[in-house]
């Protein structure tokens, strides 16, 4: 059998066998997921409640500073959709740590760019028992360039802070939703 004949044999039968084996392996892995496996995050839970309803029961404590306020406002909007919250079953507290690092420093000492970094340590407290039921940290970075104009620098930094705040809020909301979607 020549090498050209082997290539045709692989193309006609070998690829089909390999594809079939991969299909069977994938099907068996997915079949093993069952009830405890994959399910949509915002689907109704086994207890009948939905994550979106549970998110409306979270009271978001004020977070100091402009970036903290942006994160809190984003979390409130993402949890209620702009509607009214339900009576709180949980209290959510966040402590921020912010830093600014200069990059691309000229020989004169002026920075051409900076990176704004924020770290949010958060905890979810059960309103009834006052115990911490979920906690973690979230990190975000946003880079921005510096210009001759002072106003441009202020706006660039505010934009970087807003982007970092949105990243933190999205991350926390996803993690909080995953926690609240668990069966009690």
**Res 48: pLDDT:** 43
**Res 148: pLDDT:** 85
- Edge-to-edge, what's the strand order for the sheet holding 111-126? 58-60, 90-105, 111-126, 132-145
How many Cβ atoms sit within 10 Å of the Cβ of residue 58?
A: 22
**Res 10: pLDDT:** 47
Q: Any alpha helices (H) in 48-149, and if so which ranges?
A: 51-55, 66-80
Q: Give the chain's residues under pLDDT 70.
A: 1-49, 184
């Amino acid at each position: 059998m020549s090498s050209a004949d082997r290539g045709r044999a692989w193309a006609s039968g070998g690829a089909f066998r390999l594809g079939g084996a991969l299909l069977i392996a994938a099907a068996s892995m997915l079949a093993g997921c069952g009830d405890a496996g994959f399910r949509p995050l915002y689907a109704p839970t086994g207890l009948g409640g939905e994550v979106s309803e549970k998110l409306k029961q979270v009271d978001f404590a004020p977070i100091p500073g402009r970036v903290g306020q942006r994160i809190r406002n984003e979390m409130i909007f993402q949890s209620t959709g702009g509607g009214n919250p339900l009576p709180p079953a949980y209290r959510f507290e966040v402590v921020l740590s912010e830093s600014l690092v200069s990059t691309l420093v000229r020989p004169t000492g002026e920075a051409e760019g900076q990176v704004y970094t924020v770290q949010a340590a958060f905890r979810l407290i059960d309103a009834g028992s006052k115990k911490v039921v979920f906690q973690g940290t979230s990190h975000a970075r946003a880079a921005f360039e510096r210009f001759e104009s002072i106003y441009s620098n202020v706006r660039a930094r505010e934009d970087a802070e807003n982007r970092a705040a949105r990243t933190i809020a999205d991350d926390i909301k996803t993690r909080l939703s995953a926690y609240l979607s668990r069966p009690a």
